[in-house]
Amino acid sequence: MDPKRELLRHAVATIAYRGGKTIRDVPPSFADYDGGGKTPAQILAHIGDLLDWSLRMAQGNHEWKDSARLEWAGESVRFHAALEAFDAYLASEAPLDVPLEKFLQGPVADALTHVGQLAMLRRMSGNPIRGENYFIADIQAGRVGAEQAKAVRTF
């Protein structure tokens, strides 16, 4: 496999690991928490749109689509399903219509930024996630579903 493609798959797995940690085990009120901007539900839906767009672009369709919003549980499922679909395409030998670097500088970096926003909103809403040493986290290309490795070292 192309090393750049494998590195992008690792970035997608990083979104799954960090994002999954951020969207799990939230109180029902979190989805609509008003922290002064978009709600967590709106941010999570936008991440899903970014991931869906990534797959479409890889396949040659550059059209952006805003999805219909789902409840938190549905958006959480959609988050991992979109990661799985994009990762499966990256893992295949199918051609990419966009240079890999463009995925990283655009939708992948955006998704990571929005995961950070969700983590910050969790803290602001009184339900913070535990910090951890992500450098030693067990993040692996291809592991993009809801089931992720346990944290190695939290603080």
Encode pLDDT of 16-72 as tens digits.
999 999 999 999 999 999 987 999 999 999 999 999 999 999 999 999 999 999 999
Cβ neighbour number for residue 34 with a 10 Å cutoff: 11
DSSP reduced 3-state for 21? helix
Instruction: Give Cα separations from 120 to 30, 115, 135 (angstroms).
Output: 12, 9, 20
Apex CA 51: angle with CA 32 and CA 76, to 5°?
40
Q: Does residue 42 sit within a domain? A: yes
Judged against a pLDDT cut of 90, whether residue 102 lies above it is answered with yes
Strands (E) in 25-136, as ranges, are: none
- How far, in Å, CA of 95 to CA of 55, rounded? 12
- Assess if residue 146 is contained within a domain: no
Query: Residue 138: pLDDT above 90?
Result: yes
Task: Give the mean pLDDT of 3-18.
Answer: 97
pTM for the predicted model, two decimal places: 0.96
Residue 141 within any structural domain of the chain = no
Mean pLDDT for 123-149 is 96
In a domain, 150, yes or no: no
Q: Per the domain annotation, does 107 fall within a domain?
A: yes
DSSP-assigned beta bridge partners for residue 132: 154
Q: Report the pLDDT value the prediction gives residue 17, as an integer from 0 to 100.
A: 98
What's the CATH code of the domain at 33?
A: 1.20.120.450
With 90 as the cut, is the pLDDT of residue 100 above it? yes
Has residue 100 been placed in a domain?
yes
User: Could you tell me the residue range of the domain that residue 130 belongs to?
Assistant: 3-136
Average pLDDT in the chain: 96
Q: Using an 8 Å Cβ cutoff, are 35 and 28 in contact?
A: no
What pLDDT does 48 receive? 98
Number of domains in the chain: 1
- Residue 147 within any structural domain of the chain: no
109-118 tens-digit pLDDT: 999 999 999 9
